[in-house]
Amino acid sequence: MSIKKDSQKFAHQIKSFIFQGQHKSFKKKYFNEHYSETKKLILFFVPAGTDRINGGILSICTISNVIKDLKEIHGCDVVASFLPGKSETDFKYRKFSNDMIIYTFKEIEKYFNHLDFAEIHIPDVMISAFNKENKKMKPFFRWTEKIKEVKINLLNQNDLFIPAIEKINKVKEVFPNTTMTMAHKKYATIEKRNQYGVPLHLFSAWLSPTPYKKRTFEEKENLIIYSPDKIQWVPNSSTLTKEEILSNLKSKLPHYKFVEIKDMNYDTYRDHASRAKFVITFGEGLDGYLIETIFSGGISFAVYNEIFFTKDFENLPSLYTSFDQLNQKIAADINRYDNAKSYKEYQDQLDIIVNKMYSFDMLKNNIKQYYLHNFDFK
């Protein structure tokens, strides 16, 4: 972690500590105004650390907002919480605009203690924690025992993060009414439904709470942005490092500025995405960096990953079979698209594919179908 990031995190923690009394008062007032009569609840568990931002957090905030607007269908109030044992004093993610108010689990226990029904959304990275052998989760199981009916939904944001089936079975043993929702169409399949043994439904991925600012080639800058991921984080056979690839690119494209999407808030990142001609994502490929740059009028480069990409993306010239191929070809490909005609033709092609798979209206309809119990795979 950088010294700058360490100092920013420390400053955020100090500020949260100083204002913790005000934060508690605000949450109590917010509960009294919005939840005092609540008998049916939808609860999202979210990651601690309100000074952070990633695609999973953005997606959960967006999904939560959509679900709030569907109250006439499900009849529930919607709230968010940190896991039991997390002593976060702040109540809101601060690096992007959002309406989510987050309670500690102690506050959830205290305030929501007479429920008839609760649906609990658990992100993929947290699933392993939900077993009765985990002492930290005792408050959670104590709380759910007092609720007449409990339903669990496992939020599969990234299939690589889903734990072993034994961990999912631990959840199902306690809560037989368990479902799973998927962020990507590629793994929203009958095979995955059979593998995980729960009803399965596609939510889709949508990150931005506000419209994207789309710029044309003429309005773009000689700017290439790239993700903070390490190549080693995703399954691949390359011995290359991200630093070697970037060094190669910078030597061949000296007229371009390179910026890593790191230590910046969401609005600053969105501004970079709208100004950049190109993005390189070093992560799983079909992620926010790739999608949001295309929505902003840019061209995205990545390594094709069969876990996430559908056949629609196969054989696209900006998606490579390996990081070795990316390293060999990307500079020439960037030069090939560095003119208004070629840029527009290819960007339009990418835009059609992404808009077919990801839209806010599609997300809203998919979530609505979920609450109407029209699951993709029952």
Span 165-176, average pLDDT: 96
Q: How confident is the model over 63-74, as pLDDT tens digits?
A: 999 999 999 999
Q: How confident is the model over 88-134, as pLDDT tens digits?
A: 779 898 888 888 999 999 999 999 999 999 999 999 999 999 999 99
Secondary structure string (H, E, C) spanning the chain: CCHHHHHHHHHHHHHHHHCHHHHHHHHHHHHHHHCCCCCEEEEEECCCCCCCCCHHHHHHHHHHHHHHCCHHHHCCEEEEECCCCCCCCCCCCCCCCCCCCEECHHHHHHHCCCCCEEEEEEEHHHHHHCCCCCHHHHHHHHHHCCCCEEEEEEEECCHHHCCCHHHHHHHHHHCCCEEEEECCHHHCCHHHHHHHCCCEEECCCCCCCCCCCCCCHHHCEEEEEECCCCHHHCCCCCCCCHHHHHHHHHHHCCCCEEEECCCCCHHHHHHHHHHEEEEECCCCCCCHHHHHHHHCCCEEEEECCCCCCCHHHCCCCCEECCHHHHHHHHHHHHHHHCCHHHHHHHHHHHHHHHHHHCCHHHHHHHHHHHHCCCCCEC
Residue 236 has pLDDT above 80, yes or no: no
Span 73-84, average pLDDT: 96
Q: What is the pLDDT of residue 207?
A: 61
Per cent of the chain over pLDDT 70 is 92
- 155-159, 175-179, 359-363, 372-376: lowest mean pLDDT where? 359-363
Q: How confident is the model over 8-37, as pLDDT tens digits?
A: 544 445 555 556 668 888 888 988 898 888
- Between residues 136 and 361, which one has the greater pLDDT? 136
CATH of 38-206+359-371, one of 1.10.246, 3.30.1450, 3.30.470, 3.40.50: 3.40.50
Q: Where in the chain is the domain with CATH 3.40.50.2000?
A: 217-357
Q: What is the pLDDT of residue 11?
A: 47
Residue 361 has pLDDT above 70, yes or no: yes
The fold of the 217-357 domain, in CATH, is Rossmann fold (3.40.50)
The mean predicted confidence, pLDDT, of the chain is: 90
Q: How confident is the model over 139-163, as pLDDT tens digits?
A: 999 999 999 999 999 999 988 889 9
Q: What is the pLDDT of residue 263?
A: 84
